[in-house]
Amino acid sequence: MSSTITVKDKKFAVSIPAKEIQSTIDRMGAEINRDLEGKDPLFISVLNGAFIFAADLMRRITIPCQISFIKFASYHGGLDSTGKVTDLIGLQENIEGRTVVIVEDIVDTGRSMVHLLEALNAGHPKEILIAPLLMKPDKLEVDLKLDYIGLRIPNDFILGYGLDYDGYGRNLKDIYTLVEE
Ligand code: IMP
Ligand code: MG
């Protein structure tokens, strides 16, 4: 099948075509424009994974807003190789009293998001809303209120559209799922 690709040592097949990703973001953008009108939101996007999603989502936002980028010190979504959450870097803005919207690629166990919420809450924002493009409902290990969910997906490992396998695959337009052999 032409839609199967090999990234490093693993095979992947398209599971969410670019068109579906884009229509999902159309919907999310419309919801955010409707809900946050007059709130002067600050969008905070989590690098690296969310960079493409953030770029696409932000171009749907028609209300006045700002965007900033942050990163966890360890590359994998805020968890180091032992599953420990690492430090947050890059936030320059004063978020006191602001409506903050976290723009994330995916919420998996939810542990990185909990850590991020703790770190951001220390800056006393008015409210924090969470907008992940994807979530894996069966993997969630923590109590999290997700405000704008793009798509709910199965537990399988995915890549593309910003998401990576060992740093590769972020540039793919579609989202792919690991094919078990
Ligand atoms: P959590 O702390 O378990 O929710 O981890 C979330 C982070 O892990 C995301 O921000 C991603 O960077 C990464 N991640 C989770 N699932 C996948 C996947 O299926 N493919 C690629 N990266 C993933
Ligand atoms: Mg991430």
Of the listed ligands, the closest to the CA of 140 is 1
Mean pLDDT, rounded, of the chain: 92
132-152 pLDDT, tens digit each: 999 999 999 999 999 999 999
pLDDT tens sequence across 119-132:
999 999 999 999 99
Distance 128 CA to ligand 1 centre (A): 20
Indicate if ligand 1 lies below 6 Å from the C-beta of 133: no
Task: Tell me the helix, strand and coil percentages in the chain, rounded to 5.
Answer: 20, 30, 45
- Total-model pTM: 0.93
Write the CA distances from 146 to 32, 89, 156, integer angstroms: 13, 23, 20
Residues near 153 by beta carbon (within 8 Å), at least 6 away in sequence: 15, 16, 134, 135, 136
pLDDT digits (tens, 9 = 90+) for 56-87: 999 999 999 999 999 987 655 544 456 555 67
Active site residues: 108
Expressed in angstroms and rounded, the spacing between residue 76 Cα and the centre of ligand 1 is 7
How far is Cα of residue 105 from the mean position of the Cα atoms in its chain? 2
